[in-house]
A = this chain, B = another copy of it.
Amino acid sequence: MQQHEIGFLIFPNLTQLDFTGPLQVLSRLPGARTHIAAKSLQPVPTDCGLSLLPTRTLDDCPQFDLLCIPGGFGVVDLINDQATLDFVRRQAAGAKYITSVCVGAFVLGAAGLLRGKRATTHWAYTELLPLVGATHEKARVVRDGDVITAGGVTSGIDFGLVLVSEIAGRQAAETVQLGIEYDPDPPFDAGHPDRAPAPVRASLEERYAKSVQAYRNALVPLAA
């Protein structure tokens, strides 16, 4: 069976489901070998009080076939982190799929990998995509050549299934989907900014405003 080296980057203050959703899906891709890379092998704290253990340091990874960058508030600290950006560029140069979930897109962007590409990110941050040379496409999973970006957090599960289907075919993806019983049934229809109640959207926009501004401040010098 063909091996697929699936590599994730993790970092302090990631949104853990951005990573754990696609990890669950992609680890069931036939032939998958998953790698969880971080700056050191020390536990990596997430946004949930949960810490995760990397399996690789940035300097000790095989060439990935698929590189995936999850998001989280911690991404802002990577935008000017040369060691991380060098790792991302190095892996992207040899990877078949260069991917992100949520605001992980801005790590790809800071590494120069979204220039001229259609892409997406968490809904509250899409207006920042032009700062890394990308055009926002309104979809949950956006493919432009070898670059595949997913929207916020849970879109990483749909993204993972799209990738399994692409790499191993529809039946493989359906098998993973049934295995994780992914027959979603959200109790409300509030998961898309166009359909969420206005006060719900407004309260989140207020909550994210500082973070969006911090991303903008970090990205504007790159755009110049």
A:182-219 near B, CB below 8 Å? 182-188, 190-193, 195-197, 199-201, 203-204
A:123-173 near B, CB below 8 Å? 123, 140-141, 151-155, 157-158, 161-162, 165, 170-171, 173
A60 on the interface (CB 8 Å rule)? Answer: no
Specify which chain B residues have a CB less than 8 angstroms from the CB of A157 in the assembled complex: 154, 184, 186
A:5-54 near B, CB below 8 Å? 15-17, 20-21, 23-24, 27, 34, 36, 43, 47-53
Contact at A20–B50, with CB atoms within 8 Å? yes
Contact at A123–B16, with CB atoms within 8 Å? no
A82 on the interface (CB 8 Å rule)? Answer: no
A173 to B48: give the CA distance in the assembly, Å: 17
A179 on the interface (CB 8 Å rule)? Answer: yes
Give chain B nearest CB distance to A27 CB in angstroms.
Answer: 4
A191 to B184: give the CA distance in the assembly, Å: 8
Specify which chain B residues have a CB less than 8 angstroms from the CB of A53 in the assembled complex: 43, 50-53
A52 to B190: give the CA distance in the assembly, Å: 30
A139 to B116: give the CA distance in the assembly, Å: 45
Contact at A171–B192, with CB atoms within 8 Å? no
A168 to B36: give the CA distance in the assembly, Å: 35
Give chain B nearest CB distance to A189 CB in angstroms.
Answer: 8
Identity of the chain B residue whose Cβ is nearest the Cβ of A196 in the assembled complex: B178
Q: Beyond A23-B16, A23-B48, A53-B53, is A153–B180 a contact (Cβ under 8 Å)? A: yes
Chain A residues near B (Cβ < 8 Å): 15-17, 20-21, 23-24, 27, 34, 36, 43, 47-53, 55, 102, 122-123, 140-141, 151-155, 157-158, 161-162, 165, 170-171, 173-175, 177-188, 190-193, 195-197, 199-201, 203-204
Closest A-B pairs by Cβ, 4 of them: A152-B181, A183-B191, A174-B190, A184-B184
18 residue pairs A–B, Cβ–Cβ below 8 Å: A16-B20, A17-B180, A50-B55, A51-B53, A122-B181, A140-B183, A152-B179, A157-B184, A158-B184, A174-B197, A177-B190, A178-B200, A178-B201, A179-B204, A181-B191, A181-B192, A183-B191, A184-B184
